[in-house]
Amino acid sequence: MSKTAFVFPGQGAQAVGMGKDIYDAYNQSRAVFEQADEALDFSLSNIIFEGPEETLKQTANTQPALLTVSVAMLEALAERGLKADYVAGHSLGEYSALVAAGVLSFEDAVRTVRARGQFMEQAVPSGQGAMAAVLGAERETLAALCAAVTTEGSAVELANVNCPGQIVVSGTAAGVQAIVERGKEEAGAKRVIPLEVSGPFHSSLMKPAAVNLESVLAGIQMQDAAIPVVANVTARTVTAANEIRGLLVEQVYSPVLWEDSILYLIEQGVDTFVEIGSGTVLAGLIKKIDKNVRVISVNSSSALEAL
């Protein structure tokens, strides 16, 4: 039995102008952009379609923008009767997955991720935290190096386990710098690339953001999932609303287990992944995890029609 998973991208997939063609082509997609503007009380659509890039790149704008584009594309897919057996999203993308699974209303989701972005930007003063992509290192070896650097006094942790040979680390500026300097020699990395981000996401330094997010989520209505959602924190399915609420709080300061999530979905019989939203980041990662699965990126009206 062939199974399908819908997967949704997170921060880093944004581009000025994303979603404009589906806004123009489908009424139900346009309605999503209009709902976002109304829910947030400013023109998010304008920032998405016209930029400038610097404004779109601000975490508090990027997060609701990517969610809006994914849900707008999802609405156009749903109109054509396409359904998934499972859903998952990368970091912020988990909120798009929760909208797809009927856990959150879109309006609640877009307001929540706007707040989540603000909390994440505020959690650590600018310049004190950092992130870097580590290419070619084994997970266990890199985790051991992070633990050693942390013990020496500069916290750094695994943040995103994306696919074999691609792991992102996050932590204090000094901790991440130590991985940049020592990653090749002590963890067998081929390259370590500092990332342009506004904070040390998915590290324990984000706990203040998690506390603030918890109070926002406490006031939001959630339903049990109609489609099983694979959570970033556990790489396992979750359907109970209360459990999902707790995992969303944990997710802010825990590693995104993307490789594990995709392997788990493949074990459940998923052989087709449909990436819904801006870009093709997830398609690239999934192909590196298992080149035999089918991956389709729905990131434009032409891609949607082709599907």
Which residues are marked as active site? 91, 202
134 neighbors 168 (Cβ within 8 angstroms)? yes
Peptide bond between residue 52 and the one before it cis (omega within 30 degrees of 0)? yes
Which positions ≥6 away from 210 have C-beta within 8 Å? 249, 250, 252, 253
Count other Cβ atoms within 10 Å, centred on residue 177: 18
DSSP-derived secondary structure letter, 106: H
State phi, psi for 125 to the nearest 5 degrees: -55, 145
Closest C-alpha among 105, 171, 76 to residue 132: 171
Q: For residue 288, how many C-alpha atoms fall within 13 Å in the half-sphere facing its CB?
A: 18
Classify burial at 305, counting beta carbons within 10 Å of its beta carbon; exposed 0-12, middle 13-18, buried 19 or more. exposed
Tell me the longest C-alpha to C-alpha distance in the chain: 56
- The pair of structure tokens assigned to 215 is 């109070």
CA trace torsion 44, 49, 53, 59 (10° rounding) = 30
79 neighbors 26 (Cβ within 8 angstroms)? yes
State phi, psi for 158 to the nearest 5 degrees: -70, 135
Query: E strand or H helix at 273, and its extent?
Result: strand 270-276
